[in-house]
Amino acid sequence: MARCSIMVQSAVPAHVELAWMLTCVTPVGWLERMTQYKAKSARFSGDSGDEMKSRFTGLRYGDLKKEVAAMVIAHLEPFQERYRRIVSEPGYLAGVLREGAELVAPIANQTVRLVKERMGLYV
């Protein structure tokens, strides 16, 4: 019988806490020197780093939170729409998981068999 386990990282407190700690100790200056950060922040808001700085300069914390929340909501809307479509179709998700498990089960079984052989658990 094939099994497939799915873990939602946000459900594991250690993942959330680690992300929070890294966010707290990473200076924005370090992030701004990273090409990936610049590219992702520009894609997220549609503005360059300088445009974002000028846009948010002088905003109070509450106003800043509202602006960021609006950007996050707009960014996540396609994912929410896709989720709503998936959960509205009964059995769709179970079918996708079943097909995926059938595809990867032989590979996983071979890997487990190899590990057991190398550990001396198979004769």
DSSP 25-84: HS-HHHHHT-HHHHHHHHHHHSS-HHHHHHHHTT--HHHHHHHHHHHHHHHHHHHHHHHH
Residues 22, 14: Cα–Cα separation, whole Å: 12
Q: Is residue 2 part of a domain?
A: no
In a domain, 39, yes or no: yes
Report if residue 122 sits inside a domain: no
The structural domain count of the chain equals 1
Residue 21 forms part of a structural domain: yes
Of 35, 40, 23, the C-alpha closest to 75 is: 40
pLDDT at residue number 14 = 76
Q: Which residues form the domain of 24?
A: 11-57
Could you tell me if residue 67 is inside a domain?
no
N-term to C-term CA, the chain: 23
- Half-sphere exposure in the Cβ direction for 17 (13 Å, CA): 3
Would you say residue 66 lies in a domain?
Answer: no
Rounded Cα–Cα distance for residues 75 and 77 (Å): 6
Full-prediction pTM beyond 0.75? no
If 0-12 CB within 10 Å is exposed, 13-18 middle and 19+ buried, where does residue 114 land? Answer: exposed
Q: For 18-73, how does the pLDDT look when each residue is reduced to its tens digit (9 = 90+)?
A: 777 777 777 777 777 777 776 766 666 666 667 777 777 777 777 777 777 887 88
Asked if residue 123 has pLDDT above 60, the reply is no
* 71 is a domain residue: no
